[in-house]
Structure 1
Amino acid sequence: MRKKYLVLTLTLIVALAMALTGCASGGSSGSSSSAAGKTLIFGRGADTTSLDPAAVTDGESFRVTQNVFDTLVSYDYSKQSTNVIPSLATSWTITNGGKTYTFKLRKGVKFQDGTDFNAQAVVFNFDRWMNGKASGQFAYFPSMFGGYKGDPGLVIQNVTASDANTVVFDLTRPSAPFLKNLAMSPFAISSPAAIKKYGKNYGTTAAVGTGAYVFKSWKRNDTITLTKNKSYWKSGFPKLDTLVFKVIPDNSARLNALKNGEIDMMDGVNPSDVSGLKGNNQLQVYYRPPMNVAYLGFNVTMKPFDNPKVRQALNMAVDKQGIIKAFYNGQAQAATNPMPPSLLGYDNSITPYPYDLTAAKKLLADAGYPNGFSTTLYTMANPRDYMPEPQNVAQSIQSTFGKIGVKVNIVTVEWSSYIDKLMKGGIPMYIMGWTGDNGDPDNFLYTLLDKDSIGSNNFSFYSNDQLHNILISAQSQTNDAQRVALYNQAQVILHNDAPWVPLVYAKPVLVGKSTITGYKPSPTGTEPFENISIK
């Protein structure tokens, strides 16, 4: 009898345990809210290139690093705004005619390796970036701050720690976008101890910040896994225990993975799929506030693209409206200028180049190419927020260029090596795009097209001294009306010189499970996931 009762008791215990396990498991194979905690899997089109935020320029890297690291100041992500708010710095004062910034730092913050965050750590990071000219490793730094140490354009004169919790930046001149630049992901603060420990492997085998999540593992071209920083300085955050970034290159395959419960959220939704998603009560659609431009760029140091008439002719041989209709499902606006209309100083008075093949062919003849020429167009293999179907857009350009005698060979490159190839030059024509980092026009015009940015984000190797002087003057102005006037001048120069064909300003779409709360897409293209939760 006792044996029978023992068997019944064990059976009840096992049944109860299974029931409790079933209640805790949450449901889908993609996410879990088990006893181990909540996991969110984010599907994306391409892998990260490095986890050292200072060493990259691509959004797929920043999407991850933004959750591992913090910056001195941040954007107001809760309001989907690029207004600057405190982060690792709790307050700041601006003195000396706008040339000295003094930051008071948050006390008691630890890096994820247990070492102290303090003013000396900030100085270490900026010294590392400012002295990076020999390696060329920190491409974003010169494109935002005017160069490396020793370069005449560098706006940062020195960075010093006046005490453990105070850091002082002395500038060579006032810089209107300086605070917004500091909030950018590439200027997040790393652990000096980790950088010294891992050396050249920092960013591949280790990444140590003060952020909401800790880097756990990276399976190349597959997944990056982050776990909750239990010592995070923001009490009660993050709300997830595990955050996984999953690479699924094809947009349609990624959407199927979401519908099948293999992932919880994704970007890169095909515009043609959006209307069908809105009726699915298991999903929710998000629109990223538009602050981007997709463009066709020319390497102006290579023939025949060294001739402005050729570049102007090709501007007239791109059917932007056809591209928008075919590949954006109308969810984009034809671009005229190299910066989006939402930014300060956008010039509405500039007349866009018409789509006019007859005029384009005549201008090519005037430039000395009556029979056209042959060239190569490079494009990325992976979809981007601003370019959901890069290969199809390349084929559209190939088709219309062929009608004016320009024969185009298309070369497709994986995203992980595409930017590196563009930075090194030797590519005559390329498709690219940019999502603004900080909401300032400087982040488009200076960062992408100034001579100081050659070797970093200026893939066209375009240099114009008049433009440079205007952009530096615009940086140094604090009066918005004066900045607008200068940026209008800059856009006229760029329109006439035509180093690009601005293609579209896109309206990016993301989609996630209906059980996700707390997510607000940022106009910068990436955002922290500390406030996100999933049931």
Structure 2
Amino acid sequence: MKQNNRLRTIRSTALGALAASLLSVSLAQAQIPNKTLVYCSEGSPAGFDPAQYTTGTDFTANTFTVYNRLVEFERGGTKVEPGLAEKWDISADGKTYTFHLRHGVKFQTTSFFKPAREFTADDVIFTFQRMLDSNQPFRKAYPVQFPYFTDMGLDKLITKVEKTDPYTVVFTLKEVNAPFIQNLAMEYASILSAEYADQLLKAGKAADINQKPVGTGPFIFRSYTKDATIRFDGNPEYWKPGAVKLSKLIFSITPDPGVRVQKLKRDECQVMSYPRPADIAALKADAKIAMPSQPGFNLGYLSYNVTHKPVDKLEVRQALDMAINKKAIIDSVYQGAGQAATNPMPPTQWSYDKNLKSASYDPAKAKALLAKAGFPNGFDISLWAMPVQRAYNPNARLMAEMIQADWAKIGVRAKIVTYEWGEYIKRAHAGEDDAMLIGWTGDNGDPDNWLGTLLGCDAMNGNNFSKWCHKPFDTLVQKGRETSDQAQRTKFYIEAQQIFAQQLPFSPIAHSTVYQPVSKKVTDMRIEPLGYARFDGVGLQ
């Protein structure tokens, strides 16, 4: 009889636990309102493995939907807050960072992966060892480049990553690195599932990590139809209570900005990317659409590939720069939503040198400089124009045509070249261009993200599209990284900006104002100063 009572107790306890478990799951799922938001995005992502990519199009589609990082930027800002690490300690010498990981975080359950365990230190170790160690088995099975990681010199900076227990990870650095925590909040540092990677490796399908992503983030990847749609479901087990307010998130890939506007007006999408300057007035006039804006933390520029003749000559670069009527470009391309750029960073970035001046528009002087450089009759050059709109350049084709016309006045014959966006970036990394239109939106609020990432010697095969490695400049950038005092860092960065202005590896063109058109039904959509869109915390009325 006692045994039967005990059995009944065990059964009722088990049933109670099961009911509680089912209730907690249903409550978690019930917390996500049954709402579908459609985002009209400007382009197709190149893939879903954040460590491989450098564009906002990719990051919006993967980093801030599927994944989390140890530390994260607050929504709508550049302040770093805890992510998968609840807290961290920094050693007295500034070279050891100890991260204390969050307990109870679940990786997403998908049609292609069902996790057997929660997030632990093993996942952090896998994520970083893959980038650090060229002999790591997963990397050997799926060999790819990690441009951000190497551009910032992190492959040389991080000497080891170790777990001291399942919820503690220690990073040891070769030297002090002032922006290290900011850098760890960036997209490349998104934490992958080591268990999922092992499954892919055993199945001989390592490359699937780029097509079928699994993370701990607010949205679960469901499907991608190339150049058409990406579908996500709200994550009912997301570790941030109340952050997921959409049951379905759909990216409607719409490269034509005019079509994006029409879809927004017809409520076929509720958020759109990158309106054309010409459409801003009409969008502002629509009673159903909100148009928040703010000064852009960005820079549109014209890069010169200094490994190609004749732009390897300083006088030639100076002549090409001087021949461009930048005021006309700002008037025509940005249409009142841009400011002239003189520096390799925006005015809102601390350490910006406000005394730096760019050369005035002067075709006659430019022609004389060309003659002095040995090109009295000009030369032929390729001028690459981006196929997509970006926050820093709303119409690269028009900008290229205006530069082409300006250069023709000094005898330079420019052939405009373009490719699909992913191909454009890939070929530019390979150094195929002579000159190219490109730009940058800051990633982490630190000056190193401009000077180091766009112009440092470590970045020559990455985002340093000029392929410019100038030791005096690079030494100042390195000193800035290794110094914690912001006043001292500012001195190094101002001196570096002055060297940039003397050497001119690229021509700064403009900083643009960023607009984010949204349906008035959308709640709490924020403009992200770092150039992507985020949908955690976003809801629909």
Instruction: State the match for 1:94 in structure 2.
Output: 90
Map 1:119-130 → 2, pairs under 5 A: 119-130=121-132
- 1:8 maps to none
Q: How does 1:262-281 map to 2 (within 5 A)?
A: 262-281=268-287
Q: Kindly tell me: are residues 311 and 200 of structure 1, through their superposed partners in 2, closer, same or farther at Cα, counting changes over 3 Å? A: farther
Corresponding residue number in structure 1 for 2:147: 139
**Alpha carbons 1:380, 1:391 under 8 Å: kept:** yes
3-state DSSP class of the match of 1:321?
helix
The 5 Å alignment of 1:56-135 reads 56-65=53-62, 66-77=64-75, 80-113=76-109, 114=115, 115-132=117-134, 135=143
Q: Distance in 2 between matches of 1:459 and 1:340?
A: 19
Distance, in Å, in 2 between the alignment partners of 1:117 and 1:289 is: 38
Counterpart residue identity of residue 143, structure 1: D
In structure 2, give the amino acid aligned to 1:82: T
Match of 1:312 in 2: 318
Q: Which residue in the other structure is 2:23 paired with? A: none
- The residue type paired with residue 52 of structure 1 is D
Counterpart for residue 508 of structure 1: 514
Per-residue CA deviation, residues 7-47 of structure 1 (Å, 9 max, x unaligned), is xxxxxxxxxxxxxxxxxxxxxxxxxxxx9921111112111
- Aligned-partner residue type, residue 129 of structure 2: D
- Alignment of 1:230 onto 2:249: no
Using the size of structure 2 for normalisation, the TM-score is 0.89
**After the TM superposition, which residues 450-469 of structure 1 pair with which residues of structure 2 at under 5 Å, given as runs?**
450-469=456-475
Q: Identify the residue that residue 485 of structure 1 maps to in structure 2.
A: 491
For 1:204-223, what aligned pairs fall within 5 Å after superposition? 204-223=210-229
CA contact (8 A) 1:288 1:507 kept: yes
1:518 aligns with 2:520: no
Separation in structure 1 between the aligned mates of residue 179 and residue 516 of structure 2, nearest angstrom: 29
Q: Is the 8 A contact 2:122 2:194 kept in 1?
A: no
Alignment partner of 2:166 out of 164, 167, 187: 164
Contact 1:423 1:456 in 2 (8 A): yes
Residue matched to 2:354: 348
Q: Which residue of 2 aligns with 1:431?
A: 437
The answer to whether the 8 Å contact 1:288/1:522 transfers is no
Match of 1:43 in 2: 40
Contact 2:295/2:512 (<8 A) preserved? no
| Percent identity between the two aligned chains | 38
Q: Distance in 2 between matches of 1:271 and 1:446?
A: 31
Report whether the alignment pairs 1:197 with 2:199. Answer: yes
Q: Distance in 1 between matches of 2:245 and 2:349?
A: 33
Question: In structure 2, what is the Cα distance between the partners aligned to 1:352 and 1:501?
Answer: 9
Q: Shift of the alpha carbon at 1:310?
A: 0.5
Aligned to 2:29: none
> Which residue matches 2:336?
330
Rounded to whole Å, the distance in 1 between the matches of 2:60 and 2:295 is 16
Match of 1:54 in 2: 51
Residue 181 of structure 1 aligns with which residue?
Answer: 183
Match of 1:29 in 2: none
1:200 Cα deviation from its structure 2 partner: 3.6
Tell me the TM-score normalized by structure 1: 0.90
Shift of 1:191: 0.8
* Distance in 2 of aligned mates of 1:136 and 1:39: 35
CA distance in 1, matches of 2:86, 2:131: 23
**Alignment pair present for 1:382 and 2:388:** yes
Unaligned runs of 5+ in 1: 1-34, 149-153
Q: 1 CA distance for matches of 2:197 and 2:319?
A: 49
**Displacement of 1:344:** 1.3
SS in 1 for 2:474: helix
| 2:69 partner letter | T
Distance in 1, Cα, partners of 2:55 & 2:197 = 21
Report how far residue 81 of structure 1 moved: 1.9
Is the contact between residue 33 and residue 245 of structure 2 (CA under 8 Å) also seen in structure 1? Answer: no
Report SS of the residue matched to 1:109. Answer: coil
For these two proteins, the number of residue pairs brought into alignment is 493
User: Could you give the per-residue CA deviations for residues 383-403 of structure 1, whole angstroms, max 9, x where no partner exists?
Assistant: 111111110111011010110
* Structure 1 contact 289–522 (Cα < 8 Å) conserved: no
Q: Structure 2: 5+ residue runs without aligned partners?
A: 1-31, 110-114
Amino acid at match of 1:386: Y
Amino acid at match of 2:163: A
Question: Cα deviations across residues 366-398 of structure 1 (Å, max 9, x unaligned)?
Answer: 111111101111111111111111101110110
- Partner letter of residue 109 of structure 1? V
- How far apart, CA to CA, are the structure 2 residues paired with 1:195 and 1:520? 33
What is the DSSP-based 3-state SS (H/G/I as helix, E as strand, rest coil) of the residue aligned with 1:238? coil
| Paired residues of 1:147 and 1:452 also in contact (CA < 8 A) | no
SS of equivalent to 1:507: strand
2:13 matched to which residue of 1? none
Letter in 2 for 1:271: P
Distance 1:97 1:527, change over 3 A: farther
| TM-superposed deviation, 1:525 | 0.8
Counterpart residue identity of residue 68, structure 2 = D
Helix, strand or coil at the partner of 2:40: strand
Conserved in 2, the CA contact under 8 Å of 1:311 and 1:498? yes
1:233-252 per-position Cα deviation (integer Å, ceiling 9, x unaligned)? 11123000111111111111
Preserved CA contact (<8 Å) 2:223 2:230: yes
User: Which runs of structure 2 are paired with 1:367-406 in the superposition (5 Å)?
Assistant: 367-406=373-412
Please give the root-mean-square deviation of Cα atoms over the aligned residues, in Å: 1.5
